[in-house]
Structures are given as structure tokens and as C-alpha cells.
Amino acid sequence: MEQILRPIYQERASQESTLGVILVEKREKVSQITDTFDSILLIITKENETPVFTKHYTYLDKKAAMHIVTEKQLHKWLLLGTNRKLVDWLFYGRVIYDRNEFMEKLKTELKDYPFYGRKIKMGMEFAKLIRRYMEGKSFFEEKNYMDAYHHMVESLHHLARLAVLENGLPPEVTVWSQVKQMEPAIYKLYEELISSDEPIDKRLELLFLASEFYIHSRTKDGALHIREVMEKQSSWTIQELHEQEELKNYSADLEVFIEFLVEKDLISINGVTTKSEGVFHRYYYVKTK
């Protein structure tokens, strides 16, 4: 397939804005890594009219996808972890064009994995874990066991990604294969939830107990990023927190996360009087040592 795609990527490589080209070949008969395509052509550019531009190709019984991605979009995906296949493509794909060693430096950066990137990802995964756990527990208490089960499967997935990040690696598409090696106890928890012969309410009950331990032991690290951001000024309104550039990445999970951290005494509240007697504005702050 590479010979067929060569004229396509050579044309792109000749353009000054192209920084690198990676070819990813399907490794299994049915490969989720390549979205069922036989080949993926990932082209990274300095700039483009659109952040992501995609084309599909067919040749005989083969099919290929080309993704042209700007450098800015690439770094956004890597920082937020919102395109999980991307890491696999960068690690396992073959570099077929590299302008000024851009791809080589990027792969080295991924292997070294800067701590800042890990902190924000850990914060986001922990916030998602908290939301799913709290929603799951609420459904459980209402005896809506199937809804509780769905949310707890999701919460375990965020816990798994968090565990991989704690080990200094980016979570891949096959995150449970990573967790099985790094954190077998979490893998066993997941296995028991989906495979046990116990009634669903008993499985969930045991999972909530175990989850409380895992959440408690990770709360300080999970809150590290948001607390560091909040230390930049003396206090914040909830709107200011929503508008803070880095905290925008927490999206809909931000308010639930803040309330959880207030409960855990990692974020404090200051009441500021309003025009209405007995009603106070809530300002949030982090106690400095």
C-alpha cells in the first residue's frame, strides 16, 4: 500500500508547511488502531486552513485514510489525551518524512513525558473519575443498578488511565493491557465487575468500597494541578474558574470536582456579602502554607 500512497505523501512532503509524515500499517486482521483501515497516513503541518483534514482512499481490496493535522491540534490532543489512537500512531508508525528532525524530537518528548503534561491529564482523569463515581453511587442508592453499573465501568476506565499516568506513561488504546502489567489489583477489580457470577448489586457494593480506597489514596495527586492553578490568585468566583484557560479543559466536570475538593478540605470557601441579607457569594481559594 505504501507504493500506492507514495505520490500522495511526496506531494505533501514537498510543501514547506509539512513537518512530518507517518505511515501506520494494520497489524491485525481487524485493527481498531487503524480504524479498520489497512493504512493510516498521518501528516503534520505547521499550519493549515482547518486543524484536521481527512481523506479516504481505495485501491483494489485495500483502503487507506489520510489525516492532515496542524502542530497546534496535535499538541492539544497529546495534552488532553482526547485522541487515544494518536499516541499509538506516533509510537508504532514508521516515519517516512521528517523536516528538521521534528518527528524525532516529538517522539523523544513523548518518551520523556514532561511532568506538567502528566499533572493536567491526571487532574482531568481524576475529575472524570469523581463524577462517574458519584453518579454511579447515586444510581446505586436509588436501586437503579444497571445505570450504576454503566457509570462504574466508566469510572474504572478513568481509574485505569489515571494509574497508567501515575506510572509516567501515556494511556494507549489498549489501556487495560497496560493496567494488567502496572496495576493488577485495578485490573482484577474490573474483571470481577464484568465477569463475576455474584448478583449485580453485590458486585457494585464491593466495587464502591474498593473505589473509595483508590479515590482516597489518589486525591492529593489528582488535585495537584487545579490547586497549583488556583494558587495564582488569592480567590476565585466559579465563573473565573470556568474561564481560566487551563481549567477550561475540565469542562462539565469542573464544578463537581471543586465541590468534592471542598468536602476534602483541599479547596476552601470564603463567603462575601451580597445586597441580600444572609446571602453570600462563594469565593474559592487554596490555603497556602
The amino acid that residue 217 corresponds to is S
pLDDT at 285: 97
pLDDT at 30 over 60: no
Place 79 in a pLDDT band, splitting at 50, 70 and 90.
confident
Please give the Cα distance from 52 to 183 (Å, whole number).
35
Give residue-wise pLDDT tens across range 36-63.
Answer: 888 999 999 999 889 999 999 998 888 9
Q: What type of residue is 220?
A: K
- pLDDT of 91: 84
Name every residue whose Cβ is closer than 8 Å to that of residue 39 and which is 6 or more positions away in sequence. Answer: 1, 2, 5, 23, 24, 25, 26, 62, 64, 65
Instruction: Report the chain's mean pLDDT, rounded to a whole number.
Output: 90
pLDDT of residue 241: 96
Would you state the pLDDT for residue 266?
Answer: 96
Instruction: State pTM to two decimals.
Output: 0.74
Q: How far is CA 82 from the centre of its chain?
A: 5
The answer to whether 171 and 164 are in contact (CB under 8 A) is yes
pLDDT at 116 over 80: no
DSSP alpha helix (H) spans, 37-83: 71-80
Higher pLDDT, 9 or 238: 238
**All domains of the chain in start order, with CATH:** 2-112 (3.30.460.10), 113-221 (1.20.120.330), 223-289 (1.10.10.10)
To which H or E segment does residue 282 belong? Answer: strand 280-285
DSSP string, 48-60: -SSSEEEEEEEET
How many residues in the chain? 289
Q: DSSP labels for 168-207?
A: TS---TTHHHHHHHH-HHHHHHHHHHHH--S-HHHHHHHH
Report pLDDT for 251.
87
Give the CA distances from residue 15 to residues 51, 67, 88, 266, in Å, rounded to whole numbers and listed in that order.
Answer: 17, 16, 26, 51
Q: Rounded distance, CA 239 to CA 156, Å?
A: 30
The yes-or-no verdict on residue 29 having pLDDT over 70 is: no
pLDDT single digits (tens) 232-277: 999 999 999 999 988 998 989 999 999 999 999 999 999 988 899 8
Q: What is the pLDDT of residue 3?
A: 79
